[in-house]
Amino acid sequence: DGEAALKYLKIANGRAIAVPDEAIERQLVALGKLEGVFAEPSGVAALAGLETLIDQGVIDKSDRVVVPITGSGFKDLATPDRLTPQVILIAPDLNQLKAALESSA
């Protein structure tokens, strides 16, 4: 709960920040593209927070940081569907494959 979170933030001299949806969405796409991890938006909020804290100079890029990614992307299929290019569906035909590859280049 919120009270417990605030209590432990104070004990650990921690920090909580707000991040915009755009930062979360950017990290959601990057995580899937670069690491192959399919997460839900709330599961990458901490990663977006890390990006913000690095940009603010609070955390150095050379620091070692662990960011748990929670929540499977299967909990929210609408967001990644909205953020990623549509998949071209083709029949199992070599000519259709060639045409699809040429049209996406």
- What gap in Å lies between CA 73 and CA 71, rounded to an integer? 7
- What gap in Å lies between CA 14 and CA 58, rounded to an integer? 12
Q: How confident is the model at residue 105 (pLDDT cuts 50, 70, 90)?
A: low
Asked if the model's pLDDT at residue 3 lies above 80, the reply is yes
Task: Give phi and psi for 44, each to the nearest 5.
Answer: -110, 10
Closest alpha carbon to 83 in 35, 15, 23: 23
Q: What ranges do the domains of the chain cover?
A: 2-104
CATH code that applies to domain 2-104 = 3.40.50.1100
Average pLDDT over residues 24-48: 93
- What gap in Å lies between CA 71 and CA 36, rounded to an integer? 14
